[in-house]
Amino acid sequence: MSQSLSQTFLAITRNNTDLEWLQGALAPLGQVVSAGGGSLDELLALVDVTFASLVFIGLDRDHVVAQSALIEGALEAKPMLAIVALGDGMDNQLVLNAMRAGARDFVAYGSRSSEVAGLVRRLSKRLPPVTPSTHLGGLTVLYSVQGNADGALLSTHLAQVVQKSGQQTLLLDLGLPRGDSLALLGLESSFHFGDALRHLRRLDSTLIDSAFSRCEAGLRILAYASTDEPLEHTSAAELYMLLSALRHHFQHIVVNLTGQQDSEALRTFVSHCDKLLWYTDQNVLDCRRNLAILNFWREKGMKLEHSRLLVDRYLRDVAPDADTLGKSFGMEVIATLANSPQVRLNAKNQGVSLFELAPRETLTQGLRTLGERLAKRSEGIVKPKAGWFERLRGTQ
């Protein structure tokens, strides 16, 4: 995962209000991810994929026996894990149960943010350092508040460039409108994002080789189906499990999230990618909408040092120019892409890649240069071994 976030914390709380309080208190230190409803197996799986070393578990009088057993079970399986209990600070019995079960400390719901953050800092100093796996594939996210077919057009071409660099690459197309990447590549699919979430425990190389769509260049595509649940209904825990599985099978993943509304799921992608490409053009109205969500995230303490501004349909003689946009967004401008309306329209209507349709076009060259830059992030990642289905086809 991206180093832009220092830590990931897991939490099992009474409700979303408690989770949001904890997320707000620890925003400067990292992301707090809901670990679901209290299943030990799910909690341990999330510890493995998030590299979390600190877990918050809420206690209440009605379920204290099961909650204490969860703490004991987690510590038995992961002795180096630090668990902090949450509950009513005036209930001494809850505090005693938490300490007997092995919790490192107890925090009362509603405590001041400074107190919670201070406790976490002290505990973190005493915990062994956690080193994320260096074998995880690179993760690039393209995001904009506005949704349109150009988001799919750009992300598809960037993913193709990374694939052509020799890296096994996946395009995860969760942009709106849905499924445009498949249409642009002239592909159909019977396996989609929702299917991958439902088959998390079966998501191995065999399933990927047989079920994921594939274009001629070898790029794999996993896209939305019209019947899939909206992204905001996907839990951060499910996304962690999915991304962990996919990043072990692909050297690079390009994610199109253009048009998605703010949600915990969206923030999970944004916070843990290696490179966030904030996609905009010179339209002041669209810039304002993007700046509104960007400033909101910054106010909440989200760390966005890994973000870069991508200015599309750029016209040099039109204000605001790239430098002005970079200053407004507080980001380095990673690239400006030419307008080229006729070439874009032909590519969309004909379902032909810009690399075939107009290889010398300024837009095409800009996408190739940017894609090559993204590919450098994952150059040293070991190529995953081929599954039996892929070996049978002789494509590797």
pLDDT, the chain, mean = 91
pTM of this structure? 0.87
Residue 208 has pLDDT above 50, yes or no: yes
Beta bridge partners of 322: none
Over residues 93-106, mean pLDDT: 96
Which residues 6+ apart lie within 8 Å of 111 measured at CB? 25, 89
Query: Percentage of the chain surpassing pLDDT 90?
Result: 79
Residue 58 and residue 378: Cα distance in Å, rounded? 39
Confidence at residue 396, expressed as pLDDT on a 0 to 100 scale: 39
Residue 23 has pLDDT above 80, yes or no: yes
- Is 91:61 a contact under the CB 8 Å cutoff? yes
**Residue whose token pair is 């969309």:** 348
Residue 377 has pLDDT above 80, yes or no: no
- Is 253:284 a contact under the CB 8 Å cutoff? no
pLDDT digits (tens, 9 = 90+) for 240-295: 999 999 999 999 999 999 999 999 899 999 988 999 999 999 999 999 999 999 99
Q: Per-residue confidence at 383, pLDDT binned at 50, 70, 90?
A: low
The CA-atom distances, in angstroms, between 79 and each of 48, 102, 218 are 13, 10, 43
**Residue whose token pair is 């208190």:** 25
Residue 318 and residue 355: Cα distance in Å, rounded? 27
Show the tokens assigned to 246.
């996919």
Residue 302 and residue 266: Cα distance in Å, rounded? 12
Dihedral of the alpha carbons of 138, 260, 346, 358, in degrees to the nearest 10: -20
CA R_g for the chain: 22
Confidence at residue 68, expressed as pLDDT on a 0 to 100 scale: 96
Q: Per-residue confidence at 236, pLDDT binned at 50, 70, 90?
A: confident
Q: Per-residue confidence at 389, pLDDT binned at 50, 70, 90?
A: very low
Residue 216 has pLDDT above 90, yes or no: no
Residue 75 has pLDDT above 70, yes or no: yes
Q: φ and ψ at 128, to 5 degrees?
A: -65, 145
Residue 121 and residue 125: Cα distance in Å, rounded? 6
Over residues 1-28, mean pLDDT: 81
Confidence at residue 217, expressed as pLDDT on a 0 to 100 scale: 86
Residue 240 and residue 113: Cα distance in Å, rounded? 26
Confidence at residue 391, expressed as pLDDT on a 0 to 100 scale: 44
Residue 26 has pLDDT above 70, yes or no: yes
pLDDT digits (tens, 9 = 90+) for 113-125: 999 999 999 998 8
215: helix, coil or strand?
Answer: coil
The neighbour count for residue 103, using CB atoms within 10 Å, is 24
Beta bridge partners of 140: 254, 275
pLDDT digits (tens, 9 = 90+) for 128-185: 776 555 568 899 999 999 999 999 999 999 999 999 999 999 999 999 999 999 999 9
Over residues 338-361, mean pLDDT: 96
**Residue whose token pair is 């299943």:** 39
Q: Which domains does the chain have, with CATH numbers?
A: 7-126 (3.40.50.2300), 138-389 (3.40.50.300)
Residue 378 has pLDDT above 90, yes or no: no
**Residue whose token pair is 């709380």:** 13
Listed in sequence order, the DSSP H helices in 212-359 are 236-249, 264-272, 284-299, 322-329, 341-350, 354-357
Angle at 372 between CA 298 and CA 139, to 5 degrees: 45
pLDDT digits (tens, 9 = 90+) for 304-343: 999 999 999 999 999 999 999 999 999 999 999 999 999 9
